[in-house]
Chain A
Amino acid sequence: MSAADAVHHPDHQFDSPLQQRESLSLGMWLFLVTEVMFFGGIFVGYAVYRHMYPEMFHHMSHHLNVYMGGINTAVLLTSSLTMAFAVNAAQNGNKKRMVSMLLVTFVCSIVFLIVKYFEYAEKFHHHLVPGAHFATDPEYGDTAQIFFSFYFAATGLHGFHVLLGTICIAIFAWLGHKGHFPKEKYQPVEMLGLYWHFVDLVWIYVFPLFYLIGLT
């Protein structure tokens, strides 16, 4: 289907391309709302327990590697920037720039996942994973597991979202290379961008709430 066809022939259920664009956009924002509620459950739980055990949370936060977390923050923020460039390039019909920017974003997300892998491996090595093998904290006992339960639930879910995003970015870069997102049909790239910014935003909350609360 050529680009001109796409403009004049929306999907069968829509009357006009405008209606289709608006529907897709609203649908994506609603999806992000469900994601906010999804992560919201974990953050509410975090708030409750941090209120119950403030010292334990601060103390346990020292077990996290601020440098690794900091690198990942920088990597994700950069990837959000390149994603914004990619969307902008798609909007302007600059295919080459769009694909290259998506590829940079892809590389950033891979770096994020690799750093995350080393962080997790370190936690396993130091027996900081909740469960039977947890190295009971001398000061806070098994209660310390609560902090790491939230750490793994939050970063695990976030990591899963990063992984999904990484796969989508790779697919979009490939499709973009094939010419599937001409100027008139750039909207899917914008939607991918929204998702990626959301994933970034979650990390913006996760990073200080887990890594930085122990800093004095």
Chain B
Amino acid sequence: MSYATGTSTNQSPARNYLNAAHTVKSWLLTVDHKRIAILYLISVTVAFFLGGVAAFIFRLDLLTPEGDLLRSDTYNRLFTMHGVIMVFLFLVPSIPATLGNFLVPVMIGARDLAFPRLNLASWYMYMAGAAFILYAIIAGGVDTGWTFYTPYSTAFSNTHVAMTLVGVFIAGFSSIFTGLNFIVTIHKMRAPGLTWFRLPLFIWAHYATSLIMVLATPVLAVTLFLAALERLAGLGIFDPARGGDPVLYQHLFWFYSHPAVYIMILPSLGVTAELITCFCRKNIFGYKFVAGSSIAIAVLGFLVWGHHMFVTSQSPYAGIVFSVISYLVAVPSAIKVFNFTATIYRGSVSWESPMIYALGFIGLFLIGGLTGLFLANLGTDVHLHDTYFVVAHFHYIMVGGALMGYLGGLHFWWPKITGKLYNEFWARIAAALVFVGFNLTFFPQFIVGYLGNPRRYHFYPPEFQVYHVLSTAGSTVLGLGYLLPLFYLTYSLFKGKAAPANPWGAKGLEWEIPSPPPTENFLKPVTVTEEAYAYPLRKPGAK
């Protein structure tokens, strides 16, 4: 292995990005991508906690068929709060703005992103958006669901819709800024010798994600802008009373929000590629296919939004086209899963905690993806639409998939980011709890949804109670699994052993520099002379 970085690998320098300065101002006005990643990490963790608490409360309420804990309007506000926070303030920025921010420049041998100040502005936009959303929640909440469907959101709901729309609108700019920064950085700032097909798959995944952020988010912005004007200023674009078409809102909304699902899952797929190769000590199987499938998912993702509207007034012919293209998304997704599996095959597998998350990811992503096919089918969707089946399906992707990748990546790069080693025993326990808890929470929802329990209803028939009790029990285990890292990772910051530059024996530029990295990342110019994942053990027959 010969990255000509010229740094001594196992020695922590006295100065690094964390101890370069200690004032509050040095953090709040930093333009260092690594520090901005930390700012984002703290913010999205708070958001995840709030969204999780909301979910846990309404899951408790769903223990009984009549919802004895909450009033119905409180229940509506809680699931809306859960959705809005989790989608816009946690899942969308989760991996790109934290791990991506930290690693994209490092992995390509750059000193920073192309536009460091824009990067900081992105965090401030996120915080401003979050402030509006949180204010709306504290002032009484929103009850429209995270999709803000018109005309309910514009004409009927008496809750703080406009404030929330403004918040989501502003937060959208943070992800546009991040995506734009990544695209320019990846195009223009790769180290000499780092050709496109030598890039780590994490970078390919973030490139695809950034394309979606840049192309789709503005459409969400203008949609929410029109909805907000309709509510505040009396415009009538989505108002059926004036001849407007509420389904147009759904078209525009899902033009962003379906690709947004891929904003959430693609970075996770990239993380998983890094984890699998490292802990199997093996090159990825079919590098170009895995890289290309990220782009394919991003492109196809723009052409399937109509599958959210099979049961609306959308033309059945359009429905057929959307259905077929939705099926096509399964192809690049399957390429990922098959190639990950083939990479594991005859690899030298070890079972560190990030690998447990990665394996969990493959399993959950598989179930989430296959159940998506039921919903892409015009016939079965009529039965399953707006039931718990849909809830279970997208949680397998967005929580099972995206979150497993996020946690796996966080554990994998934690020693690099913080320079500390965490307790591996507890990390494995947590990974196992998350996997078990997640399945216990959401698998019963497939069944109860198939049996006909609609989503978002406060009450349900008593014969469904057993599934809801299982689900709530699972969410308790899941919650515990999510809380554990908060403790042992925080503990490691103070009492953890110092991490060496490359604790996992992994390949990649980020492991060639000290942990934590110096402010300028690389102390000497970087030249790349090898393919990615040049692990000693390679697939049989490979040179």
Chain A positions near chain B (C-beta within 8 angstroms): 12-14, 19, 22-23, 26-27, 30-31, 33-35, 37-42, 44-45, 48-49, 52-53, 129-132, 134, 142-143, 145-146, 149-150, 152-153, 157
Contact = CB atoms under 8 A, between A and B. Distances in A.
Nearest to B224: A41
A14 B113 CA distance: 9
A38 B233 contact: no
A149 B222 contact: no
B183 A30 contact: yes
A153 B234 CA distance: 11
Given A13-B112, A41-B252, A33 B236 contact: no
Contacts of A52: 243, 245
Contact of A23 (B176, B188, B233, B520): B188
Contacts, number: 123
A35 B188 contact: no
Interface string B359-382: 000000000000000000000000
A41 B222 contact: yes
A26 B179 CA distance: 13
A44 B230 CA distance: 17
B188 A22 contact: yes
Contact of B218 (A41, A49, A153): A41
B188 A26 contact: yes
A166 B114 CA distance: 27
24 contacts: A12-B112, A13-B116, A23-B115, A34-B176, A34-B217, A34-B218, A37-B215, A41-B218, A41-B219, A41-B252, A45-B248, A48-B245, A49-B237, A49-B244, A52-B245, A131-B235, A132-B234, A142-B241, A142-B243, A146-B237, A146-B242, A149-B230, A152-B229, A152-B235
* Residues of B contacting A: mostly: helix
A39 B180 contact: no
B221 interface: yes
B323 interface: no
A41 B217 contact: no
B223 interface: yes
A147 to B, nearest CB: 10
Q: Which of A52, A129, A150, A153 has most chain B Cβ within 10 Å?
A: A153
Contacts of B226: 41-42, 45, 153
Contacts of B235: 130-131, 145, 149, 152-153
A146 B254 CA distance: 22
Contacts of B532: none
A166 to B, nearest CB: 21
B198 interface: no
A203 to B, nearest CB: 17
Name the interface size band of chain B. 35 or more
Contacts of A40: 218-219, 222
A134 B233 CA distance: 12
Contacts of A146: 236-237, 242-244
Nearest to B176: A34
Contacts of B187: 23, 26
B201 interface: no
Contact of B243 (A26, A53, A129): A53
Nearest to B213: A34
Nearest to A27: B184
Contacts of B356: none
A23 B181 CA distance: 9
Contacts of A42: 222, 226
A19 B188 contact: yes
Q: Which 6 A/B pairs are nearest by Cβ-Cβ distance?
A: A131-B234, A41-B222, A143-B243, A13-B112, A38-B218, A37-B218
Contacts of A39: 222
Nearest to A150: B237
A39 B218 CA distance: 8
Contacts of B115: 23, 27
Interface string B372-413: 000000000000000000000000000000000000000000
A101 to B, nearest CB: 28
A155 B433 CA distance: 54
B216 interface: yes
A152 B230 CA distance: 11
A75 B236 CA distance: 31
Nearest to A56: B243
Interface string B163-187: 0000000000000100011011101
B336 to A, nearest CB: 26
A13 B214 contact: no
B241 to A, nearest CB: 7
A48 B242 CA distance: 15
A188 to B, nearest CB: 13
A48 B112 CA distance: 44
